[in-house]
Structure 1
Amino acid sequence: MSNKQNINEIALSTAENIADELIFKSATTFVEDLAKSVPLASMALALTKAISNYKTAKDQRQLLAFIQETQNTDRSFIEKFFKDKNNTELGFEILGILDQTYLEKQAKMIARSTKLFKDQIISKQQFDQYTYIVTKLNNHLINLLQELYFLKTNNEDQEFEFDISNPNMELVSFGFLKEVSSPLYPGATQIARFKRTDSFYYFYKNIFKD
């Protein structure tokens, strides 16, 4: 065997050992955090099964953020959720949704959406809509949503919000902005204007806002 082959094998073995160590440390930290967040033994067993396919630190962190957020508003919610066999399909659906996210804020928003749905405040269709939107968010869009909420618009005419022009079209596709008519003055160029929708305000106050 050549020296080059030996070096390659040593490098590969070292990389595998480092990866195993990182995964072990990540899993250990996650289990410790989870134990603090959910002290119930029965819950630990249920959650261990639920996260068996969650291999990376990112996935584990997102699931933990989801659990902690539900406990902030209802400490018994997660326990009841996992004990109810009718939630099996929804549970797998939520894991799939979390898998599409990478920000802890997204996991928290999914938790709030789930709570609203299980409390029968929103429909399954609305749950699907909100969780879809959450998976599409990134730091840039999150900042835009915050700016949009606090944006001051034309107060002289409640029918128009002239300050919202040339918005990010993602916000329009989410249903958070809708185009409105604006007066056309002689010699002026017609510019598309938008106003915030009730759907935006509901999403911001009940799902987005920490």
Structure 2
Amino acid sequence: MSNKQNINEITLSTAENIADELIFKSATTFVEDLAKSVPVASIALGLTKAISNYKTAKDQRQLLAFIQEAENTDAKFIEKFFKDKNNTELGFEILGILDQTYLEKQARMIFRTAKLFKEKEINKLEFDKYTYIITHLNSHLINILQELFFLKTNNEDPEFEFDISNPNMELVSFQFLREVESPLVFDGKTKIARYKRTDEFYQFYEKIFKD
């Protein structure tokens, strides 16, 4: 058996233990009603009855990545979250969002976004916007975002300072870039589309994107 398999088995076993403990400690909350009707042996079934739909390897992997990020960041978050009946609707919403993702990095970002929302650092509109962005990311866009953060601003001409020209337009739709003034090119009529990074981009990168 490979080291990777051993690590995965240990991680899943640990997550199952977390689920057992959550169910035990949350006996008087909605978690009990949902979780006691399903096998505790599976982490995918240990948190809520809704998770019983998470039967594929992809779904379980995404949920596990979400829980692992919670344990690494705030060990008590999951327990507190599921003990609060007011989080029922949000819990189901998060499961639906996770179902739209396939990269573990996306699951980690979803946890960070949920934590920001529960700690009132962002409002529901921002939560919805960030989770929308996360579900629309892929490996290509993730690499572009990583590169964008480390780009040096082009200030050869202080009057027309910019970060990037002709970017992937999805970054513009995410409001991570704003167009800036650019000079005319040789024919005196055409302009090259140039953009600068926004505060929105830096906030997303630092608080949600960065591992």
Common fold: TM-score over 0.5: yes
**Aligned equivalent of 2:208:** 207
- Which ranges of structure 2 fall in alignment gaps of 5 or more residues? 1-8, 26-34, 36-45
**Shift in alpha-carbon separation, 1:80–1:43, aligned structure 2, 3 A:** farther
**Aligned equivalent of 1:58:** 58
Query: What TM-score comes out, normalization by structure 2 length?
Result: 0.78
Comparing 178-187 with 117-126, which one deviates more in the overlay? Answer: 178-187
What is the deviation of 1:155? Answer: 3.4
What is the deviation of 1:40? Answer: 1.8
- The 1-side partners of 2:185 and 2:138 are apart by 38
Give a deviation string over 1:54-90, Cα, whole Å, max 9, x none. 1111101101110111121211100010011110000
Give a deviation string over 1:96-116, Cα, whole Å, max 9, x none. 000000000000000000000
Structure 1's consecutive aligned runs of 4 or more residues displaced over 6 angstroms after TM superposition are: none
**Aligned equivalent of 1:119:** 119
- The 2-side partners of 1:109 and 1:40 are apart by 25
- The 2-side partners of 1:51 and 1:200 are apart by 32
Contact kept? 1:160, 1:195, Cα under 8 Å: no
- The 2-side partners of 1:66 and 1:161 are apart by 39
**Aligned equivalent of 1:79:** 79
- The 2-side partners of 1:42 and 1:32 are apart by 15
Contact kept? 2:162, 2:180, Cα under 8 Å: no
**Aligned equivalent of 1:15:** none
- Which ranges of structure 1 fall in alignment gaps of 5 or more residues? 1-27
**Shift in alpha-carbon separation, 1:61–1:187, aligned structure 2, 3 A:** same
What is the deviation of 1:162? Answer: 3.2
Q: CA RMSD in A?
A: 2.4
Counterpart residue identity of residue 207, structure 1: I
- The 2-side partners of 1:87 and 1:159 are apart by 50
**Shift in alpha-carbon separation, 1:159–1:149, aligned structure 2, 3 A:** farther
Helix, strand or coil at the partner of 2:53: coil
Which of these two proteins has the greater Rg computed from alpha carbons?
A: 1
Residue of 35, 55, 68 corresponding to 2:16: 35
**Shift in alpha-carbon separation, 1:159–1:94, aligned structure 2, 3 A:** farther
**Aligned equivalent of 2:155:** 155
**Shift in alpha-carbon separation, 1:31–1:183, aligned structure 2, 3 A:** closer
Contact kept? 1:37, 1:68, Cα under 8 Å: no
Query: What TM-score comes out, normalization by structure 1 length?
Result: 0.79
Equivalent residue pairs, number: 183
**Aligned equivalent of 2:97:** 97
**Shift in alpha-carbon separation, 1:59–1:159, aligned structure 2, 3 A:** farther
- The 2-side partners of 1:157 and 1:101 are apart by 42
Counterpart residue identity of residue 60, structure 1: Q
**Aligned equivalent of 1:88:** 88
